[in-house]
Amino acid sequence: MIFLPGFRVWASRHRGHGGHDHPHNDVHHGGGSREIAVQRRVLDANDRLADENRRLFADRNVFVLNVMSSPGSGKTTTLIKTIGQLQALGIQCAVIVGDICTRNDADRLAATGVPAVQINTDLFGGDCHLTAPGIRKALDGLDLSDIDLLIVENVGNLVCPAEFDIGEHARVVVLSVTEGEDKPLKYPLMFRESDVALLNKTDLLPYLDFDSAAAVANIRKVHPDMPVWPVSGKTGDGFAPWIEWIQDRIASK
Ligand SMILES: Nc1nc2c(ncn2[C@@H]2O[C@H](COP(=O)(O)OP(=O)(O)OP(=O)(O)O)[C@@H](O)[C@H]2O)c(=O)[nH]1
Ligand SMILES: [Mg+2]
């Protein structure tokens, strides 16, 4: 197993100043068509680099997952368990993780023995999502030659990461049972754009009023055919279909 300690990569911004440069649907502070044109160019530039990333992943025969959720839903915890199970199956993983500050998550993930690269976005205004250029830069620190699966843990945010193609092959959204059943309806883009949903922290259900059936129904209203698997990142319960899906996707890449 290659070991590469987590290190800091600064994601480049789309424009050369601070602020929040990406296309929200609810722009309500002036700018009109010019603002929309700038946003279009930002996304076009990102998409071109995402395609380049995808070509690079194809060359290296690596399957790439983009894992997204609100802050604290349990992405890192779930991924640590996931990586452990995949390692036992002989699947070689690497991780890129995005946060505004700290390398905590790269350190936690690297403790499993996989190469882990941390991207911090704080130096450039604290982007709330990863971008294709940021991933490209992080790849400079990863040797993908023996890697079957590259997992990207996006910045904790249930909105913005869904707007940016990073060159991934599949998207996973993690919704935890402490967040409320209505989140898929309030933040539909994330659920519409994902291929799989993990309903995490199910070990806490006995202590909550959370209605799992309603949460699943809400996800299905937004994305009718998407698999939704209840899991506990803490205990490892419910992981079988999730691990099987990853194996299938790697096999068919
Ligand atoms: N009870 C319980 N706690 C969990 C579970 N998964 C994560 N947690 C806890 O939830 C908190 C946040 O978990 P993380 O894995 O750091 O969440 P994250 O989504 O990676 O957070 P960010 O990267 O900051 O967005 C930690 O205290 C975890 O121990 C779970 O399945 N059950
Ligand atoms: Mg995390």
Q: Quick check: is 123 in a domain?
A: yes
In a domain, 144, yes or no: yes
Q: Which residues span the domain enclosing 164?
A: 8-14+57-251
Nearest 5°: CA angle at 109, between 108 and 111?
A: 70
Residues flanking ligand 1, CB < 6 Å? 69, 71-77, 105, 156, 200-201, 203-204, 232-234
Q: Is residue 32 part of a domain?
A: no
User: Concatenated DSSP letters for 229-249?
Assistant: EE--TTT-TT-HHHHHHHHHH
Ligand 1 binding pocket mutation candidate from 70, 77, 100, 175 (most atoms within 8 A of CB): 77
CA 107 vs CA 7, 8, 70, 79, 200: distances in Å? 9, 11, 20, 13, 22
- Counted domains in the chain: 1
- Which residues have beta carbons under 5 A from ligand 2 (an ion)? 75-76, 105
- Structural domain contains residue 133: yes
CATH at 96: 3.40.50.300
Q: State phi, psi for 91 to the nearest 5 degrees.
A: -90, 125
The one-digit pLDDT tens for each residue of the chain (253 residues) are 233 334 345 333 333 333 455 554 433 445 567 667 777 777 788 999 999 999 999 999 999 999 999 999 999 999 999 999 999 999 999 999 999 999 999 999 999 999 999 999 997 678 999 999 999 999 998 999 999 999 999 999 999 999 999 999 999 999 999 999 999 999 999 999 999 999 999 999 999 999 999 999 999 999 999 999 999 999 999 999 999 999 999 999 8
68/195 Cα distance (integer angstroms): 11
pTM here is 0.89
Q: Which of 163, 88, 94, 103 is CA-nearest to residue 129?
A: 163
How far is Cα 59 from Cα 223, in angstroms, rounded to an integer? Answer: 31
Contact (Cβ atoms closer than 8 angstroms) between residue 42 and residue 22:
yes
Ligand with the closest atom to the CA of 129: 1
Closest ligand relative to 203 C-alpha: 1
Residue nearest (by alpha carbon) to ligand 1 atom 32: 201
Residue 30 lies in a domain: no
33 within domain boundaries: no
Residue 25 lies in a domain: no
- Asked if residue 223 belongs to a domain, the reply is yes
- Cα separation, 92 vs 115, in Å, equals 10
